[in-house]
Amino acid sequence: MQETNRTEISTLGEFGLIKHLTKDIQLKNESTRYGVGDDCAVLEYPESKQILVTNDLLMEGIHFDLTYVPLKHLGYKSAMVNLSDIYAMNGTPRQMVVSIALGRRFCVEDMEDFYAGLKMACDAHGVDIVGGDTTSSLTGLAISITCIGEADKEKVVYRNGAKENDLICVSGDLGAAYMGLQLLEREKAVFDQQIREARKTGNKKLEEELRQAQPDFSGREYLLERQLKPEARRDIIQALDEAHIRPTSMIDISDGLSSELLHICTQSKVGCRIYEERIPLDYQTAVMAEELDMNVTTCALNGGEDYELLFTVPLGLHEEVCQIKDIKVIGHITKADLGCALISRDGNEFELKAQGWNPLKD
**Among residue numbers 121 through 160, which ones bind a copy of itself (CB under 8 A)?**
130-140, 142, 144, 146, 148-149, 153, 156, 158-160
Would you count residue 53 as binding a copy of itself (CB under 8 A)? Answer: yes
Looking at 21, 36, 63, 223, which residue binds a copy of itself (CB under 8 A)? 63
Residues 108 and 18: their CA atoms lie apart, in Å, by: 10
330 with 338: CB under 8 angstroms?
no
CA atoms within 13 A on the CB side of 203: 12
Instruction: Rank residues 172 and 288 by Cβ distance to a copy of itself and give the closer one.
Output: 172
Judged by CB, which is closer to a copy of itself: 59, or 206? 59
101 binds a copy of itself (CB under 8 A): yes
Going from the C-alpha of 13 to that of each of 27, 39, 129, the distances in angstroms are: 24, 18, 20
- 361 belongs to the binding site for a copy of itself (CB under 8 A): yes
How far apart (Å, rounded) are the C-alpha atoms in residues 275 and 331? 6
Contact status, residue 270 vs residue 164, Cβ threshold 8 Å = yes
Distance of closest approach, residue 188 Cβ to a copy of itself, in angstroms: 16
| Beta strands at 327-334 and 167-171: parallel, antiparallel or unpaired | antiparallel
Q: Which stretch binds a copy of itself (CB under 8 A): 12-20, 113-121, 296-304, 324-332?
A: 12-20
Whether residue 73 contacts residue 117, with contact meaning beta carbons closer than 8 Å, is answered with yes
- The least CB distance from residue 26 to a copy of itself, in Å, is 19
Residue 60 interacts with a copy of itself (CB under 8 A)?
A: yes
Q: Is 33 helix (H, G, I), strand (E, B) or coil?
A: strand
The answer to whether residues 91 and 241 touch, using CB atoms and an 8 Å cutoff, is: no
Tell me the C-alpha distance between 181 and 213, whole Å.
Answer: 19
Stretch that binds a copy of itself, among 39-47, 209-217, 233-241, 291-299 (CB under 8 A): 39-47
CB of 62 to a copy of itself, least distance (A): 5
Q: Which 3 state secondary structure label does DSSP give 328?
A: strand
CB of 192 to a copy of itself, least distance (A): 18
Q: How far is the C-alpha of 29 from the C-alpha of 126, rounded, in Å?
A: 8
95 binds a copy of itself (CB under 8 A): yes
Measured from the CB atom, the residue of 85 and 276 that comes closer to a copy of itself is 85
Q: Shortest distance, CB of residue 151 to a copy of itself, whole angstroms?
A: 8
303 binding a copy of itself? (CB under 8 A): no
The region of 60-68, 215-223, 270-278, 312-320 touching a copy of itself under the rule CB under 8 A is: 60-68
Applying CB under 8 A, does 355 fall inside the site for a copy of itself?
no
CB of 210 to a copy of itself, least distance (A): 26
State the number of binding residues for a copy of itself (CB under 8 A).
73
Q: Please say whether the beta carbons of 337 and 275 come within 8 A.
A: no
Residue 252 in the binding site for a copy of itself (CB under 8 A): yes
Q: Residue 279 carries which DSSP code?
A: S
Which one among 25, 27, 59, 210 touches a copy of itself, defined by CB under 8 A? 59
- For a copy of itself, the binding residue among 7, 165, 267, 298 (CB under 8 A) is 267
Measured at the CA of 65, the angle between CA 60 and CA 70, to 5 degrees, comes to: 110
Closest CA to 223 of 292, 297, 284: 284
